């Protein structure tokens, strides 16, 4: 029958008109970030606000671009304290090697993908930037039994 294809096509467009839209109104709505989404690397804090990092420096060594900067000092009781830790996000590859290398799961890829800033300094993420900002659910993975 002549025109049946047109009728079918018209029906398809009418159906799609009434269906929900695929557009996400970005600043107001957010796209869903899956659990393994590779955003900017961020430190993990337990619910009490304590970092899991022990300052071993494996992430610093494993980073192919050397974007991680860490300074440590010795605290009383033979504990290593992390005084300064930063990631230059402009040069970060989001490869996840620091996350893979970390023996304590102290750093992970966060949901953060809005990486714009007004100054270059804004793009150096330090400890203060991460404290309490990582929205991911805290997973209390057991620490490996290695002596440091």
Name the residues that contact other proteins, by CB under 8 A.
Answer: 6, 9-10, 12-14, 16-17, 19, 21-23, 25
Q: Which is nearer to other proteins, 6 or 146 (CB)?
A: 6
Q: Which is nearer to other proteins, 4 or 121 (CB)?
A: 4
- Map the chain to HEC letters: CCCHHHHHHHHHHHHHHHCCCCCCCCCCCCCCCCCCCCCCEEECECCCCCECCCCCCHHHHHCCCCCEEEEEEEECCCEEEEEEEEEECCCCCCCCHHHHHCCCCCEEECCCCCCCCCCHHHHEEEHHHHCCCCCCCCCCCCCCCCCC
Smallest gap, in angstroms, from Cβ of residue 104 to other proteins? 45
Q: Which is nearer to other proteins, 24 or 79 (CB)?
A: 24
Q: Which is nearer to other proteins, 9 or 117 (CB)?
A: 9
Smallest gap, in angstroms, from Cβ of residue 117 to other proteins? 25
Smallest gap, in angstroms, from Cβ of residue 4 to other proteins? 14
Residue 121 to residues 42, 86, 87, 115, Cα–Cα distance (Å): 17, 11, 11, 12
Smallest gap, in angstroms, from Cβ of residue 31 to other proteins? 15
């Amino acid at each position: 029958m002549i025109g049946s294809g047109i009728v079918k096509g018209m029906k398809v467009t009418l159906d799609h008109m009434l269906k929900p839209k695929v557009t996400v109104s970005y600043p107001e709505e957010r796209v869903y970030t899956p659990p393994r989404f590779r955003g900017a690397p961020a430190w993990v804090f337990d619910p009490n606000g304590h970092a899991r990092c022990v300052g071993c420096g494996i992430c610093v060594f494993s980073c192919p671009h050397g974007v991680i900067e860490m300074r440590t000092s010795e605290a009383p009781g033979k504990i290593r304290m992390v005084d300064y830790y930063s990631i230059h996000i402009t040069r970060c590859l989001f490869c996840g090697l620091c996350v893979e290398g970390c023996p304590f799961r102290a750093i992970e890829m966060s949901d953060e993908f809005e990486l714009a800033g007004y100054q270059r300094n804004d793009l150096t993420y330090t400890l203060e930037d991460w404290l309490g900002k990582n929205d991911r659910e805290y997973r209390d993975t057991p620490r490996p039994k290695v002596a440091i």
